[in-house]
Structure 1
Amino acid sequence: MLTRHAFSFSGHYDPKNLHFGALLACNEETLAPGAGFDEHRHRDTEILTWVLEGALAHRDTEGHAGVVRPGMVQHLSAGSGVAHTERNVAGADVPVRFVQMWLQPDVFGTDPAYGLRRVPAGPGLTLLASGLVRDADTEALRLRRSDAALWLAEAGPGEALPDLPEAPFRYAHLTAGSLGYRTLPGPRGQGRSLAPGDSVRITGEAFAAPVAGEQGAQLLLWEMHSGLRYG
């Protein structure tokens, strides 16, 4: 089992790196054949899972069960409390690698909910999950956070990424390929690059003119219009 954390998580604690916007965790996990997380409990957390390689089996105490494969997104809304297991799918002979992100909801104590959907492949911008009113009639999984959305952005080799949504807090995680961008628009910005597993926390005009590298690029992007809510 291999885990990479973007924020303070589990046994690692950094008081200066607890969250960004409403995002509480972004972990990239690798589970060997037969490996997994035994039953554990969550409460009042929106959990989004995107599989990069292999297949991940989910089962929870509300009776939901699913297998998440590349090109699929899973949403578990823990609500008033739910326990689940996550394992490399039975019989697999290869590891499963996935990104899992935790988002704070803005309604609490609700009934747990589950969703799983397949996402069409191809370049462009795809809405994976959202709690915004503007997205209520789309195919996006429904978040219990009224001002946040999760997008998938893809571009072919050397192509510019599609125009990304604007928000006070944006969090980008590169899942495949490579990406170059500027820290500010025009000649004022310095050039930066991302490799798979890298992320960038975006406020203001940062993350200007993102362009895919030689292998193209696939990017998960959080659009968040407020930060953590307390009390």
Structure 2
Amino acid sequence: MITLRQATDCGHADHGWLNSYHTFSFASYYDPKHMGFRDLRVINEDRVAPGRGFPTHSHRDMEIISYVISGSLAHKDSLGNTEVVSANGVQRFSAGTGIAHSEFNPSATDPVHFLQIWILPEKQGLTPSYEQKLFPLDPQDGWRSIANPDASSGAVKIHQNVALFATTIAATDKRTYTLQPDRHAWVQVVKGTIVLNGQRLHAGDGAAVSEEPQLTLLAETDAEVLLFDLA
């Protein structure tokens, strides 16, 4: 079963400096039918104007991933980390018992475009932590492991039974993924247009997948896709 979540149906907030689309309920956008999928709680597609950003604020008990699509994102937190994440970069922090952080666009001319992803942790009260890595993508590489519970294949570590993959697919090419029994998937299209098991998704669209052992992604244009493998 595949349930589409089209970008045109998502929540939208335009604050001038921030243009954000919410796949699931977030902040002032509330839809009881879209509160997340399995342990995936938030996917926000954010565009932040040059020189603007999110001032220091706090989180607890959440795994938070930023996936930078274009531009760069400056991060600062209460653990002492001060980093800049560029395109194809991923940052992960486990909020755990509490962490304060800020995210800004350091460019004076270019917006930053990124996905903000929240995943429910396996337990509360974890020790806060932070890491970031670059994940350049090439269509020849297939699925690139971005985040998983044991940091295997060079991925960042998340404290939940979730594996996040990214891929780019050249136009007219296919990518397949085998979903193990009792596992589910969320497919999020970052760029381009794909056909997922016969259903068309455009950039910004997502799809909840259950009871589909084999996923086939056909790229109608050059495409970039994230896939969450979920318990």
Q: Which TM bucket (shorter chain)? A: 0.7 to 0.9
Residues 165-219 of structure 1 show CA distances to partners (whole Å, capped at 9, x for unaligned) of: 446221111111210123xxxxxxxx321111111111112884220113x2111
Q: Judging changes above 3 Å, is the alpha-carbon distance between structure 1 residues 171 and 217 closer, same or farther for their aligned structure 2 residues?
A: same
Q: 1:8 to 1:67 in 2, by over 3 A?
A: same
Pair 1:126 & 2:147 matched: no
Distance in 1, matches of 2:37 and 2:228, equals 10
Partner residue, 1:58:
75
Structure 1 position 64, deviation (Å): 1.2
Structure-to-structure mapping, 1:109-188, within 5 angstroms: 109-123=125-139, 124-131=142-149, 135-145=150-160, 147-166=161-180, 168-182=183-197
2:200 to 186, 193, 197: 193
Q: CA RMSD in A?
A: 1.6
Q: Does 1:223 align with 2:205?
A: no
Match of 2:211 in 1: 204
Aligned pairs, number = 211
> Which runs of 5 or more residues in structure 2 are unaligned?
1-17
* Kept in 2: contact 1:80–1:109 (CA 8 A): yes
Kindly indicate whether the alpha-carbon contact (under 8 Å) linking 1:76 and 1:115 is maintained by their aligned counterparts in 2. Answer: yes
Shift of the 86–213 alpha-carbon distance from structure 1 to 2, 3 Å rule, reads same
Identical-pair percentage: 34
Show the counterpart of 1:187. none
After TM superposition, give the deviation of residue 113 of structure 1 in Å: 0.6
Runs of at least 5 residues in structure 1 that lack an aligned partner in the other structure:
183-190, 226-231
- 1:138 Cα deviation after fit: 2.9
**8 Å Cα contact 1:125-1:162 kept in structure 2:** no
TM-score, normalised via structure 1 length: 0.86
1:34 partner letter: G
Where has structure 1 moved over 6 Å in runs of 4 or more?
none
Paired amino acid for 1:213: E
Q: 1:168 to 1:68 in 2, by over 3 A?
A: same
